[in-house]
Structure 1
Amino acid sequence: MSVVISSRPLSVDTAELGGLPEIRRPTAIAPRDARELSKLFFARLQELEEGTRAYQYARNTLIEMNMSMVRYVARRYRHRGDDMQDIVQVGTIGLIKAIDRFDLAREVEFSTFAVPYILGEMKRFFRDTGWAVHVPRRLQELRTELAKAKEQLHARLDRDPSVDELATHLHLPEEEVIEGLVAANGYAADSLDTPTNPDSLGPRRTLADVVGDDDPALATVEDLHTLAPLLRQLAPRERRIIELRFGREMTQSEIGAELGVSQMHVSRLLKSTLSTLRTGMLSDSEPEPDPGSATPTP
């Protein structure tokens, strides 16, 4: 085992440390060497008084020497899309808890003891901070698989993969891949005040400025598109009554005088005609085309 030891004076009393070396770069120590050194530091840590400079030195060195274990566990979750630095930080909390609770008398490897603590903190982090919108577990798992497949295919194709390429790679139907991609949007939520052009020198724009809204005129266009063939199917007199009532906004009495019928008769015809049109509007079937409205063939 080769360990780089500082030649500078120790920041703590050498005698108080019981001969423990001052390690110049604890994070650079190989995992195999860290395991052997950790036993030495743990043995001395149990003899030191908590709160002393020597205790803090031994504890901090143990943390830094075993950070490779945290990074190793964190790599399992590199495809989740979370910031790896955040995952390493919460894993470090688990490592510190393991160091504070480890006892050499257990006669188990420290890594065996520490990994469950590290994993526990990471899973708690994902539980507390992940998925701004609740989605089924199968879609949560599919999001991870899609992220991994995207990374692999991007490296192979040198571009973002398409839906059918993702489906082929994962042996899934395209519909399920699309469902997973849509569900992945619920993992994190952005504020509507988030700027869309933070690096631009122009006017500040937020997400709220570019989010679309329902246009009521579109519903009117759809209704008129559905109504047009129904109007063409009406009898000429019924179509005339609709035109006079809603096109020229005449009263029923005025319509009766125009057509030479009573106001009561106009009311019955209008009611019946509107009922026919309403039924046609609510029907799922397509209205039959009006032969008279067809464009003649030249």
Structure 2
Amino acid sequence: MAPSAITETVPSTLVVKGGKESVATHGAEAVKEEKEPTPLEAISHGIVMPGIPTFPSYTSHRRHTLVHMAATFRFFARSGFTEGQSGHISVRDPEHPGLMWMNPLGRHFGMLRAGDMICLDIATGRVAGGNTSRPANAAGYLIHSAVHRRRGGDVHAVCHAHTQAGRAWSVFARPLDMLSQDVCSFHGQAQAVYAQYGGIVFGAEEGERIADALGPRGKGVILMNHGLLTVGATVDEAGFMFGLLDRSCDVQLRVEAAVAASGGALRKNIISDEEAAYNFRMASEANVLYREAQPDIEYELEAAGGEEALARGFESLQPLVL
């Protein structure tokens, strides 16, 4: 249950001239709000886990971002989120916020490295640098650029793919119920449904409608007859939230099937709005979601042979042209 304020009997504090404090105990009850720990402090027993890192230069920040982008793609591959040439991740450049990095069209997620990524101008789609030997995904550009333009203040990464559970649940054009502690990271306005289908996105209007559906506070949107899309302050967050959204679709499908098979003998117990809101507040903060992604990111780095293996080609990327 969400913790409440602690009521204590405390002495009142008087501030006098000269900035000194004198304490007078009047025997009155005063309410003292216990300082709530940050989400990372709350989950860490002992040493507090570090949050989103900082970097000494834009180059080191860009390298870290593209390495973690490649690791996120490999996590997608391991999770079975591939479907031919479909699916894409974009990340805003840390130095030039009008540019975004995307994966090349037609290269398997499980093979991607930092040196494969293409840099595009968000406003125009112009190739601004990076790996210029392969094309980007045109439909992907239209979707991602619309979201980046609309959410420039808080969204720096966007993930989209056509997953099994995501596509299956999307046909109902319904939001997910708060069936588990984990899915509460999509509580309230953090979850959206785009209840239209406009075909393969070859026009800017469809990307704008998807951005409309996501709204100003959405972290994930279920795209009817299409798939899933998530956003985040980091590619780590967006990637973790994508996996969570897909697994939550799978859980919902299993629960609905069990209820139907029971002929009404089973009923769903849904987490209350109060508890779901508390879970959301403590589990969906950007630093916590960055940390949530690290076990999978570190696994992919280890499986690939270390960070240097996924950074391969970074030094050879074409310079950015503004």
The two structures have a TM-score, normalised by structure 1, of 0.20
Larger strand share, 1 or 2: 2
| Larger RCO: 1 or 2 (CA < 8 Å, sep 6+) | 2
Say which one has the larger Rg.
1
Larger helix share, 1 or 2: 1
